[in-house]
Amino acid sequence: MSRDVLPKYPKSVAPIHAEDARAVRVRIDRWRAASRLTRAGAQPVHGMFGLSRALRYRASRSLRALRRILVHWVDVAGLCAAFVDRAVNIDRRLSVAPMMDWTDRHCRYFLRGFSPATLLYTEMITAAAVTRGNAPRLLAFDPEEHPVALQLGGSDPGELATAARIGEAFGYDEINLNCGCPSERVASGAFGACLMREPQRVAECVAAMVAAVRIPVTVKMRIGVVSGARCEVAGALAGFEADDFAALQQFVALMRQAGSQAAIVHARVAVLGGLSPKENREVPPLRYDVVRRLKAAMPDIPIVLNGGLRTVQSALDVLCWCEGVMLGREAYHRPLFLGQMAQALAPQTVMPSREALLMRMASYAERQLAAGQSLPAITRHMLGLYAGEAGARAYRRLMSEGARAQGADAQVIRRAAASAVHAGGSAYEHSR
Ligand SMILES: Cc1cc2nc3c(=O)[nH]c(=O)nc-3n(C[C@H](O)[C@H](O)[C@H](O)COP(=O)(O)O)c2cc1C
């Protein structure tokens, strides 16, 4: 699909590479200003040498040509620098996992309030839905969500490349391919964890996406895949043999060769056929040791570990030997954990009070309601703000039943903010 036929993205979405274009414009303006100064200073020099009119004319034409070449060079160099910046500037130390039906745009906006730099992933969206469905509805997001990565599901290189390009046009900072989801429906559509058995095919998909976009492409995976009923795979889950490790290593190496900039590894085996998606996140044992061995065997490949991280200390321990940690359920159910992590990684991060977090969400809800969204669609992601504390139940009731009541509007969230004032102190202090 050529850039010209890409769908128009909605106004609420930052235009593609707006910051790159700005950076280039600034560079060009600076160069132009400098070149004006040079020209102003050059005129008396011409006079001093007493060049003939014809010579001065030729000299000024040559200078203009040179200037054109330089402007072009500045343009190209600026763009290259800007894109290189985009690639290396993604801070992968802390990210929030893609979670279907959970990490939608409202959830991501809410979580952004706790941590300004965390990389947020969308829920998985299939490449077919992006290319053939209502892309603006599926992909629109608020500029405050940056940095935000789009997770795609699929196994057709051409379709994935087109979807990746559309995602880039919508302003996403990274495209991620799902090779970790074990659901039956997904396996029958030939994507998700079953793709780990087809490394060549996945490499083709990654290479096609890398060729289609200028933003980073990454892959999220499990440490391996087994098939069968729970009792049949018990033995396979208990151990992780040398050939299992070799297969994982080969998969990661192929993805890297194809252009993937990081391997995001959910440190569990996926069981296809025998466990539900929920069980697949709980039953197979966590194997951080396998991911650590992988990192030791492939030190040049950025690795992000995912799975079971629930405390700041455990996440910081993991960060001693790999590039990043990805938080899933804990960040969703207890978002203050995200704030704690953000502060542990950047101590200057100021954690807003709960009142401020809620007032921010009330303003957001007002804008979203005006755009036709429903209040419960927003507040359902905010239930964990008081997790494990006094007042949590009343707050949850307000955010769920209160938000569903007839005529409810953003005032519901403001009422919760008013109670937060009485609670006093910063949200972060409360969560410790
Ligand atoms: C409700 C839910 C939906 C999920 N959907 C996706 C998904 O769309 N894509 C994906 O790669 N992983 C998905 N996952 C898996 C998470 O990204 C993550 O790998 C898993 O929850 C383990 O991390 P955690 O222990 O920190 O939660 C989902 C998890 C949950 C709980």
CA gap 233, 261 in Å, rounded = 32
Q: How far apart are CA 275 and CA 280, in angstroms?
A: 6
> Domain range holding 365?
354-431
At CA 80, angle to CA 78 and CA 81, rounded to 5? Answer: 65
Domain identity same for 245 and 300: yes
Q: How far is the CA of 156 from the centre of ligand 1 (A)?
A: 23
**Same domain, residue pair 423 and 286:** no
Identify the domain boundary among 345, 367, 401.
Answer: 345
Beta bridge partners of 270: 225
| Residue 41: inside a domain | yes
Considering 345, 374, 389, which residue would you say is the last residue of a domain? 345
- Which CATH number do you get for residue 377? 1.20.120.1460
- Range with the poorest average pLDDT among 4-8, 39-43, 175-179, 282-286: 4-8
| 66 lies in the same domain as 164 | no
Q: What are phi and psi of 126, to 5 degrees?
A: -75, 150
pTM above 0.95, yes or no: no
Question: For residue 52, how many C-alpha atoms fall within 13 Å in the half-sphere facing its CB?
Answer: 3
- The 3-state DSSP class for residue 350 equals coil
Residue 329 and residue 210 in one domain: yes
C-beta neighbour count of 83 within 10 angstroms: 14
Site to probe by mutation for ligand 1, drawn from 100, 111, 183 as the one with most ligand atoms within 8 Å of Cβ, is 100
Domains held by the chain: number: 3
HSE of 65, CA atoms in CB hemisphere, 13 A? 5
Radius of gyration of the chain, Cα coordinates, nearest whole angstrom:
26
> Residues 371, 404: one domain?
yes
Rounded distance between C-alpha atoms, residue 416 and residue 396, angstroms:
10
What is the Cα–Cα distance from 430 to 420, expressed in whole angstroms?
11
- What residues form DSSP beta bridges with 174? 149
Q: Is the CB of 328 under 6 A from ligand 1?
A: yes
Token pair, residue 282, equals 């709980």
Same domain? For 253 and 283 the reply is yes
| Residue 5 forms part of a structural domain | no
Asked whether residue 12 is domain-assigned, the answer is no
14 versus 334: the higher-pLDDT residue is 334
82 and 98 share one domain: no
**CATH number for the domain harbouring residue 299:** 3.20.20.70
Q: Are 238 and 286 in contact (CB under 8 A)?
A: no
Q: Are residues 76 and 100 in the same domain?
A: no
Phi, psi (deg, nearest 5) at residue 300: -80, -10
Same domain, 212 and 283: yes
Same domain, 142 and 60: no
Q: Give the pLDDT confidence of 20-40 residue by residue, as tens digits.
A: 444 434 443 443 444 343 334
* Tens digit of each residue's pLDDT (9 = 90 or more) over 397-424: 999 999 999 999 999 999 998 887 555 4
Tell me: do 291 and 312 sit in the same domain.
yes
Is cis: bond before 335, omega within 30 of 0? no
CA-closest candidate to residue 307, choices 323, 321, 291? 291
Residue pair 382/110 in contact (Cβ under 8 Å)? The answer is yes
Nearest CA to ligand 1 atom 3: 99
Q: Would you say residue 379 lies in a domain?
A: yes
Query: What are the residue numbers of the active site?
Result: 181
Query: Percentage of residues in the chain with pLDDT exceeding 70?
Result: 76
Assigned domain for 107 exists: yes
Within a domain: 27: yes
Q: Is residue 10 part of a domain?
A: no
pLDDT, tens digit, 9 for 90 and up, residues 368-394: 999 999 999 999 999 999 999 888 999
Q: In this structure, is residue 24 part of a structural domain?
A: yes
Q: Is the CB–ligand 1 distance for residue 333 below 6 Å?
A: no
Task: Report phi then psi at 178, rounded to 5.
Answer: -80, 110
Among 345, 364, 387, give the residue marking a domain's end: 345
Q: Are residues 58 and 165 in the same domain?
A: no
Angle between helix 157-169 and 199-212 (nearest 10): 40
